[in-house]
Amino acid sequence: MGDSLLCRNNIGKCLYTCAVRPAAIYGPGEERHLPRIVSMAKLGLVPFKIGNANVKTDWVYVDNLLLALLLASMRLLDDIPGKEGRPVAAGQPYFISDGSPINTFEFIQPLLKSLDYDLPKSWLAVSHALYLAKIFWAVYTMLYPLLNRWWLPQPFILPAEVYKVGLTHYFSYLKAQQELGYVPMVSPREGMAATISYWQDRKNKSLDGPTIYVWGIILIGMISLFASGWFPPIGPVPLLRSIGLMLFRSMFGIRLAFYLATAAHIGEGMYAWRLAKRVDPDNATGWFWQTFALGFPSLRLLLKRAKKVA
């Protein structure tokens, strides 16, 4: 490991170093763990928990980590009066956490609930999750030249993430407490409260949307309705047309249904734009296009936001 090599190179008079090994970091502004979890939950792509409820891992609030870094830097000084010589932290590793191991899904539950995102209810065994993750790993390995393209979504899950949330692993910060004087100054409850406040504010400033399943159902439905009413009878069109005729009785009925649905979407989009101008002006254009595409499922979210603002 890189930090092990770093710790070994603290011999004689030199630039002293130590290794601070934080747990999973959370808090306002953190961009590695929670943004991915929240974005997946927003799309409805957190369908299960991994492992079991007894699995526990470490987390560390950003302010606690900053405190540990400051204390470690102070313990690397070799010119403090009365404490000359080799610093106590030189060449040493320190595990840093909040000191409250917890199941990852139990940990994120208050955050997702506060954002009105669905919480996973079922459990998936680590072996099954790992098998699924390896499939995504293999696919994205083959797509390596395209990984920086904006249109390529992030993989659903990867093996490292399965190990992270599905297996118990946590460490004591006792050594950091004894040698650095580290004691978490922000409790997990306080840290999560600040994190929730940050994410609620972030959500209120952005365009909210329904799950990917709603997007799929509505867009596929509108495209299918249009295809059954106007496309020539090739590919799946005959099947779509048969379903349309069963529901609407005639080609005129199919086309009328499409016209009415389109008109409803346009009307809802215009209403969403006017409402967003009042309650969320920065995202008014986005609300229009999203509501034009999805109709009421998008408008419902905007109405909910307007109710909170009122």
Q: Tell me: the pLDDT tens digits for 62-71?
A: 999 999 999 9
Write out pLDDT tens, residues 168-226.
999 999 999 999 999 999 999 999 999 999 999 999 999 999 999 999 999 999 999 99
123 contacts 52 by C-beta, under 8 angstroms = yes
Question: What pLDDT sits at residue 83?
Answer: 66
Closest CA to 61 of 161, 199, 192: 192
Give the β-pairing of 24-26 and 59-61: parallel
Q: Is the model's pLDDT at 266 over the cut of 90?
A: yes
Q: What pTM, to 2 d.p., does this model score? A: 0.88
2-204 is classed CATH 3.40.50.720: yes
Q: Is the model's pLDDT at 1 over the cut of 70?
A: no
Q: Is the model's pLDDT at 24 over the cut of 90?
A: yes
Question: What pLDDT sits at residue 242?
Answer: 95
Rounded average pLDDT over 263-284: 96
Q: Is the model's pLDDT at 2 over the cut of 70?
A: no
Q: Is the model's pLDDT at 72 over the cut of 90?
A: yes
Q: Is the model's pLDDT at 97 over the cut of 80?
A: yes
CA distance 143 to 164: 24
Question: What pLDDT sits at residue 87?
Answer: 87
Average pLDDT over all residues of the chain? 92
Question: What pLDDT sits at residue 7?
Answer: 59
Task: Work out the percent of the chain whose per-residue pLDDT is above 70.
Answer: 94
Read off φ and ψ for residue 204, nearest 5 degrees: -65, -20
Q: Is the model's pLDDT at 300 over the cut of 90?
A: yes
Question: What pLDDT sits at residue 82?
Answer: 64
Rounded average pLDDT over 291-304: 95
pLDDT band at 148 (very low <50, low <70, confident <90, very high): confident
Helices 296-309 and 251-279 pack at an angle, to 10 degrees, of 20
Location of each CATH 3.40.50.720 domain in the chain: 2-204
148 half-sphere exposure, CB direction, 13 A CA radius? 1
